[in-house]
Homo-oligomer: A and B are copies of this chain.
Amino acid sequence: MARETDLSGYLIAPDPGAARLTRRVIGHDEGGAEVTASVVEERPLTIWLNGQEIVTAMTIGDYPEHLALGFLANQRMLAPDETVTAIDFDEEVEAVVVRTDRPTNHEDKLARRTRTSGCAVGTTFGDMMEGLEGLTLPALAVRTSDLYALSHTINRTPSLYLEAGAIHGTVLCQGARPLVYMEDVGRHNAVDKVAGWMRATGTTGADKTLYTTGRLTSEMVIKCALMGIPALASRSGFTAWGVEIAQSVGLTLIGRLKGRRFTCLSGDDRLVRDADLSAVADEPKGAGRKGAA
């Protein structure tokens, strides 16, 4: 089924042509011929909250203000009612300072380190489950026609992934429309940039779906729930704890979404199966767009 891909609905789309985000490196292929590879950049960005150094993130470097804001919000270091008075990014010293009108001190939280199950030495600070107690997400109906449309559009959106690979994408969506598509070398950064954008613009998660190229681990599920987004979809698979948390907070969890196939392991009763499956193009097993590994 050839469907035209409408990219005009994006508020933020990837900018794969931005010179700062990739570098061309000379190498050799299997036959010994010289090749030029486009590889993504990976830069340090130190995040400060008022006078306290919180963390140094390795990032492609776009949207440092959103990354800092989203990181602090997802780590519960910025309360929902906290007033952010300024966000100052200094490119030269590779640092961003978030300022609030009240003093903050997170030494206690910074002392508790949990290495999450992503693809790097993963750490969250404080209690991973903080903020989830008693949380129940709004019971949003999720249409399968929207899921297929999102998957179709996102996979055809020009991106750093298509340009250079080795990157993760996270997309904030509403119905069939992808709104904000962030990419980063770390999936946690991509989702934190989305969270920062939501906080900066005062956007609610209640009527949104989050799409990620990555796995549905406990960390992704927790971030999505803390962002108040009731549905999370991915081409990739699940972990047992991710499923358990999704079920406990009422998050609709759709994985292995490829072509017309998917698996729903939480919230199937909120799925509205309105798509005509025979009209959805299937994807040969193992083919197609791949998440960065």
Bound-complex Cα distance A147 to B169 (A): 30
A184 contact set on B, CB distance < 8 A: 117
A174 contact set on B, CB distance < 8 A: none
Q: Are B166 and A239 in contact (CB-based, < 8 A)? A: yes
Cβ-based interface call for A153 (8 A): no
Bound-complex Cα distance A283 to B110 (A): 46
Q: How far does the Cβ of A60 sit from chain B's closest Cβ, in whole Å?
A: 9
Cβ-based interface call for A208 (8 A): no
Q: Are B37 and A187 in contact (CB-based, < 8 A)? A: no
Copies per complex of this chain: 2
Cβ-based interface call for A140 (8 A): no
A115 contact set on B, CB distance < 8 A: 55-58, 120, 123, 186, 188-189
Q: What per-residue 1/0 map shows which CB atoms of A182-196 lie under 8 Å from chain B?
A: 001111110000000
Given A119-B186, A241-B42, A286-B287, also A31-B277 (CB < 8 A): yes
A268 contact set on B, CB distance < 8 A: 27-28, 32
Residues of A within 8 A of B (CB): 22-23, 25, 27-32, 35, 37, 39-44, 54-59, 75, 110-111, 113-124, 144, 164-166, 168, 184-189, 213-219, 234-243, 256, 260-266, 268, 271, 273, 277, 284, 286-293
What are 12 A-to-B residue pairs whose CB atoms are below 8 Å?
A25-B238, A30-B261, A37-B238, A42-B240, A44-B114, A56-B114, A58-B114, A118-B187, A119-B119, A164-B237, A166-B237, A234-B293
